[in-house]
Structure 1
Amino acid sequence: MTMPNGNGNGNGALNGAVVAVAGAAGPAGRATLLRLAEAGATVVAADADATRLAEAVDAARYAHGGATVIGDTVDLLDLDAAREWATRTEKEFGRLDGVVHLVGGWRGSASFAETDLADWELLEKLLIRTVQHTTLAFQDALQRSDRGRYVLISAAGASKPTAGNAAYAASKAAAEAWTLALGDAFRKAAKAEGAAAPTSAAVILVVKALVHEAMRAERPNAKFAGFTDVTELAEAIAAIWERPAEEVNGTRQWLTEKP
């Protein structure tokens, strides 16, 4: 993965960009808000947890004085609400250059036979439905951008499911397929317009799992082998804008060893 050319001075490909971050209140979201704000982007963050979202937004604003970082409580399980969020954001800022999908969730079981299909019902909403709604809501705006990016964070388990993670792996695999279909839509739209290459891209960043400071503090002796630190993930997300859309569109970018 190529790291961003920018050094935090707002002169890189994200300077002046408008980026929406879905699922922004967790550790990965906080790191991403900080990195995008540092790169000079206007960041519109959304999460179901209004209190944690406000804390994440305030932290990004405080770290980067003058940065425009706003929070929105959006029900991404409601397609109309997602579309209204996209329309409102583009209208307010005049453009929309990216969506980073960080909505997560995990459920597992001790064995395949013990899989609880209630876990699938939950994960289908969190990991698939929110991807469907954000892609459908933001596609047109991203296609209008000269640097549109849709970035999905996925898991290595989608490519090599384990017995106890059937529901989770299947949900992630479905989300990946949906995102790759968006990438094909970007490619076909560019071709239909007679463009030499698309200016928008749908990209999947694959991790084994994520780790952050609080996890390390709780388990100081743990190795977290193969895990991606949330700050490294944020760097990888920002790097997507530094590469040509044609190069990254419809690709999986591995941040951990392939299974």
Structure 2
Amino acid sequence: MTSTVSGTARPVATHVLVTGGSGASGIAVAGALASAGHRVSTVGSDQARIAAAAEKAGDGVTPYTCDLAVLDQVRKLRDEIAAASGPVDAVIHLVGGWRGAKGIADQSDDDWDFLERGAVTTLRNVSRVFFDDIAASASGRFAMVSSTALDKPAAAVASYVAAKAAAEAWTMAMADGFRRAAETGGGNAAATVLVVKALVDDELRRAHPERKFPGATDVADLAAAVVRLFGTPSAELNGARLRLAD
């Protein structure tokens, strides 16, 4: 199911975990959620960076440090967050990465390992550990960011699109899991894929004034779309592939 994200919505306040919180998109999303009245936990792999990012995101954002590619660390993260702030209702998964090549023959194992770890393993770990908490919530949400490159995969980005496709498939399987949980007395959760061509922020624009970034989604617009997820009925979101790109 593919649709577009538009309009405004009044979010239901909830506890949201933002992964990949050290980057520009993580800071923007965490800040927007906190401004909308949500309790926000944000996580990154570097303690100093995630602390600085949480401070930049603003009041109401609590930083945590974890390597999300290590399952035991994710389990400890869940315990730590639950002890401090209670169970999470939602996860906005912003961990990924990008690698490209010239074609099929030079797709390297190092690049594949990097992309699989960032785009797939982290998502698998986070979803397995936090699935039950999200599924039990009346406003449960899981969202990942994917790419328009999957619409027409190119040889130069074969590893990248394959990893993103795997992450999307896993997220759609989560949507089925949430649907089944709701049918057996669970909450009202939804798993959603947010699709962009690329993400851009003010720092990137300053670093490359010669570039126009056609079709790119500003991280502020991504953040606004994430906030709208909490004011949109689960039935409209679960299993949806929402296109943010122009």
Q: What's the TM-score once normalised by structure 2's chain length?
A: 0.93
Per the TM alignment, residue 93 of structure 1 is displaced from its structure 2 partner at its CA by 2.2
1:209 corresponds in structure 2 to 198
Is 1:183 matched up with 2:187? no
2:35 corresponds in structure 1 to 38
Residues 153 and 204 in structure 1, CA contact (< 8 A), matched pair in contact too: yes
Is 1:247 matched up with 2:236? yes
Distance 2:152 2:48 in 1: 36
Per the alignment, in what secondary structure is the counterpart of residue 220 of structure 1? coil
Write out aligned runs for 1:78-97 (5 A).
78-97=70-89
Write out aligned runs for 1:1-259 (5 A).
1-6=5-10, 12-13=11-12, 15=13, 17-61=14-58, 67-193=59-185, 199-257=188-246
Per the TM alignment, residue 33 of structure 1 is displaced from its structure 2 partner at its CA by 1.2
Unaligned segments of structure 2, at least 5 residues: none
1:9 corresponds in structure 2 to none
Letter in 1 for 2:48: T
Distance 2:170 2:8 in 1: 27
Question: Which structure is richer in relative contact order (CA contacts within 8 A, separation 6 or more)?
Answer: 2
Letter in 2 for 1:232: D
Distance 2:164 2:75 in 1: 23
Residues 31 and 61 in structure 2, CA contact (< 8 A), matched pair in contact too: no
Per the TM alignment, residue 162 of structure 1 is displaced from its structure 2 partner at its CA by 0.9
Per the alignment, in what secondary structure is the counterpart of residue 91 of structure 2? strand
Q: Give a deviation string over 1:116-143, Cα, whole Å, max 9, x none.
A: 1221111111100000001001100001
Per the alignment, in what secondary structure is the counterpart of residue 214 of structure 1? helix
Letter in 1 for 2:221: E
Per the TM alignment, residue 112 of structure 1 is displaced from its structure 2 partner at its CA by 2.0
Per the TM alignment, residue 236 of structure 1 is displaced from its structure 2 partner at its CA by 0.6
Letter in 2 for 1:220: P
Residues 3 and 236 in structure 1, CA contact (< 8 A), matched pair in contact too: no
Residues 107 and 168 in structure 1, CA contact (< 8 A), matched pair in contact too: yes
The CA RMSD measured in Å over matched residues stands at 1.5
Per the TM alignment, residue 156 of structure 1 is displaced from its structure 2 partner at its CA by 1.2
Distance 1:75 1:202 in 2: 23
Residues 178 and 190 in structure 2, CA contact (< 8 A), matched pair in contact too: yes
Letter in 1 for 2:164: K
Distance 1:92 1:55 in 2: 20
Q: What's the TM-score once normalised by structure 1's chain length?
A: 0.89
Per the TM alignment, residue 188 of structure 1 is displaced from its structure 2 partner at its CA by 0.8
When residues 146 and 91 of structure 1 are mapped into structure 2, their CA distance, relative to the original with a 3 A threshold, is farther
Per the alignment, in what secondary structure is the counterpart of residue 146 of structure 1? coil
Per the TM alignment, residue 52 of structure 1 is displaced from its structure 2 partner at its CA by 1.7
Per the TM alignment, residue 219 of structure 1 is displaced from its structure 2 partner at its CA by 2.2
Distance 1:200 1:252 in 2: 15
Distance 2:184 2:9 in 1: 32
Per the TM alignment, residue 3 of structure 1 is displaced from its structure 2 partner at its CA by 4.0
Q: Give a deviation string over 1:220-255, Cα, whole Å, max 9, x none.
A: 232211100000000011111110111100110001
Per the alignment, in what secondary structure is the counterpart of residue 242 of structure 1? coil
Per the TM alignment, residue 172 of structure 1 is displaced from its structure 2 partner at its CA by 0.3
